[in-house]
């Protein structure tokens, strides 16, 4: 859909990233340091202070880091999408780019942010001296699936928030709750067996499993769970596309 | 996800069929009680839905220069121009264009004050549908036409307003579009530059470029060959642009007689009062 505008997208995303990091003395290193700070804090609290709880697989620092980066990408991308069409956007009155272009621009910028933070996983592997097996290929599958899910969700969130501004606040609460309802801090095996199937209604459960399965094959999601997650992802992406198409005239009127 | 349907085989430049459009009209809350004043201070507004167009159908011939003039109170040419440019979608009916229509509206937010002139040229060009390579290839023409040789790497916030108008106007022209929807944008900068713009537009007209113009400037009459009077439910072609501008004057007098200083059109950037 955006192939025609790929050079415009590349230029604008490069400009966004440059603008975001140029004001800091250590520039792009903040893409790593922010999630690193979160990983170290979580590791310190749950592994050192509350040691023995064994919330996730070992080494816990790597286990946390592998999930925190995608979670950081997800939450920052969805939170940013709530603001895309809020308030007057005068340039949309003359822009020849598709209305959904700003959403794609944010999603690609956040993907680039995520890619910039990936050296943190390599550093965690070296620190803990733990290396992945051949299932690491699913790490890249997870990135593709998460990007598609995020684009669909961002279209849904951005279009609804443009019409009902209160929705942006609801999304923020949902993201906070999502952090605890998603196995970022803990392993899928910690979810009670009775709730396991229901937990797959949260598509990030399956996606985080794909990220981790290269290091911890036991983190894989069952076939039923995968099917449920896939159905939810397709539904959410479809809902995003439909809601955006339905609300696009109103978004343009509000611009 | 194109916003307007494009049909390269279309015999006319723009075709509107049975277009319906409803816009929200924003009014500041009135009243003098303490509660009403607090609500007004908090920026509380009331919204009223108003039908701008109902069942509008028109075909704009390719290569024509049309003066778009509102002939009834409550009808705004901005909505018509935005419908043609695809930056507004109708609630009903269809808009089909042969070539992309590039809109040029005042206060369009094309320029970002925190960027340099060069960066703004690229950003505005991309927003108007050019690729970065297109902008690079036309940069010299833009710089030369707008006279930006000495301010190309200056921050836009340090440029005088007339220079910003020049940039926006020149980048829009650099898109080399086959159709333009222009509102009040020809009131640009200084007299010499305006004359240069008119000469450029005249050249484009000879090449068969279509223009939809809403401009109170008297030069409108010398540039356009037909007038299009906009009413809520119909359009009226007039061959004499002078006649059309007289209709605008009557409408504006009528509107000023109604005295609604508190109200503004939501989509007008606040300038169409």
Interfacial residues of B (vs A; Cβ cutoff 8 Å): 1-3, 23-24, 82, 85-91, 100, 102-105, 107-110, 119, 122-123, 126-129, 131-133, 266-267, 269
- Which of B4, B24, B87 to mutate against chain A (most A CBs within 10 Å)? B87
Q: Is residue B51 part of a domain?
A: yes
**pLDDT interval class at A235 (50, 70, 90):** very high
pLDDT digits (tens, 9 = 90+) for A46-67: 888 887 567 778 888 899 999 9
* Domain of B263, in residue numbers: 1-98+223-273
Closest B-chain CA to A11? B132
Domain presence at residue B2: yes
Q: Does residue B169 fall inside a structural domain?
A: no
pLDDT digits (tens, 9 = 90+) for B213-270: 886 566 666 678 888 888 877 788 877 676 666 666 666 666 555 444 333 333 333 3
Phi, psi (degrees; rounded to nearest 5) at A200: -75, -5
Q: Higher pLDDT residue, A188 or A77?
A: A77
A102-153 pLDDT tens trace: 999 999 999 999 999 999 999 999 998 988 889 899 999 999 999 999 999 9
- Judged against a pLDDT cut of 60, whether residue A192 lies above it is answered with yes
Q: Which helix (H) or strand (E) holds B214?
A: strand B210-214
Q: Is B123 in Cβ contact with A253 (below 8 Å)?
A: no
What is the average per-residue pLDDT within B199-218?
A: 82
Give the integer Cα–Cα distance in Å for A171 and A251: 19
> CA distances (Å), A13 to each of A74, A115, A232, B97, B229, in order?
17, 13, 29, 30, 43
Mutate to test the interface with B, among A7, A15, A89, A93 (most CBs of B within 10 A): A93
pTM over 0.80: yes
Q: What is the tally of structural domains in chain B?
A: 1
A193 against A70, higher pLDDT: A70
**Contact yes or no for B104 and A248 at CB 8 A:** no
- Which positions in chain B touch A97 (Cβ < 8 Å)? 126-127, 129
Task: Please write down the long-range contacts of A47-55, taking CB distance under 8 Å and 24 or more positions apart.
Answer: A55/A185, A55/A186, A55/A187, A55/A190
**For residue A250, which of A169, A157, A159 has the smallest C-alpha distance?**
A159
Max CA pair span of chain A: 60
pLDDT digits (tens, 9 = 90+) for A75-91: 999 999 999 888 777 78
Nearest to A253 among B88, B100, B104 (CB): B88
Q: Where are the domains of chain A?
A: 3-254
Q: Quick check: ipTM above 0.85?
A: no
Show residues of chain B in contact with A11, CB under 8 Å. Answer: 122, 126, 132
pLDDT at B202 over 70: yes
Higher pLDDT, B190 or B1: B190
């Amino acid at each position: 859909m955006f192939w025609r505008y790929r050079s415009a997208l590349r230029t604008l995303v490069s400009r966004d990233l440059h603008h975001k990091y140029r004001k800091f003395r250590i520039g792009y290193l903040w893409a790593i340091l922010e999630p690193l700070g979160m990983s170290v804090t979580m590791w310190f609290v749950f592994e050192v202070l509350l040691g023995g709880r064994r919330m996730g697989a070992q080494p816990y620092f790597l286990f946390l880091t592998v999930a925190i980066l995608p979670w950081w990408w997800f939450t920052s991308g969805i939170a940013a999408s709530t603001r895309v069409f809020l308030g007057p956007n005068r340039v949309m009155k003359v822009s020849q780019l598709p209305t959904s272009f700003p959403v794609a621009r944010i999603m690609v910028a956040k993907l680039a942010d995520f890619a910039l933070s990936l050296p943190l996983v390599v550093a965690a592997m070296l620190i803990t001296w733990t290396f992945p097996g051949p299932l690491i290929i699913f790490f890249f599958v997870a990135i593709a699936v998460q990007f598609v899910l995020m684009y669909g969700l961002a279209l849904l969130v951005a279009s609804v928030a443009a019409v009902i501004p209160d929705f942006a606040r609801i999304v923020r609460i949902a993201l906070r709750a999502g952090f605890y309802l998603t196995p970022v801090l803990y392993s899928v095996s910690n979810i009670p067996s009775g709730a396991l199937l229901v937990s797959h209604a949260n598509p990030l459960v399956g996606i985080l499993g794909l990220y981790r399965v290269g290091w911890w094959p036991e983190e894989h999601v069952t076939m039923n769970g995968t099917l449920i997650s896939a159905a939810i992802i397709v539904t959410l992406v479809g809902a995003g596309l439909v809601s955006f198409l339905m609300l696009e005239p109103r978004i343009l009127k509000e611009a | 996800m194109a916003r307007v349907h494009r049909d390269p085989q279309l015999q006319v430049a723009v075709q509107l069929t049975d277009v319906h459009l409803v816009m929200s009209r924003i009014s500041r809350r009135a009243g003098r009680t303490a509660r009403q004043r607090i609500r007004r201070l908090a920026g509380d507004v009331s919204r009223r839905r108003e039908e701008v167009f109902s069942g509008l159908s028109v075909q704009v011939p390719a290569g024509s220069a049309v003066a778009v003039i509102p002939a009834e109170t409550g009808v705004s040419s901005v909505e018509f121009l935005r419908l043609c440019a695809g930056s507004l979608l109708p609630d009903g009916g269809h808009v089909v264009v042969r070539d992309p229509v590039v809109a040029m509206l005042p206060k369009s937010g094309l320029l970002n004050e925190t960027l340099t002139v060069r960066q703004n040229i690229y950003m505005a060009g991309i927003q108007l549908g050019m690729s970065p390579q297109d902008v690079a290839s036309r940069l010299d023409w833009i710089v030369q036409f707008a006279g930006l040789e000495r301010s190309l790497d200056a921050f836009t916030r340090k440029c005088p307003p007339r220079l910003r108008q020049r940039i926006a106007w020149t980048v829009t022209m650099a898109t080399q579009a086959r159709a333009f929807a222009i509102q009040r944008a020809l009131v640009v900068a200084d007299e010499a530059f305006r004359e240069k713009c008119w000469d450029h537009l005249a050249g484009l007209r000879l090449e068969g470029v279509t223009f939809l113009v809403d401009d109170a400037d008297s030069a409108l009459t010398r540039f356009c060959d037909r007038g299009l009077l906009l009413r809520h439910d119909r359009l009226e072609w007039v061959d004499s642009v002078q006649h059309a501008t007289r209709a605008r004057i009557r409408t504006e007098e009528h509107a000023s007689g109604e005295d609604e200083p508190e109200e503004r059109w939501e989509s007008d950037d606040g300038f169409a009062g």
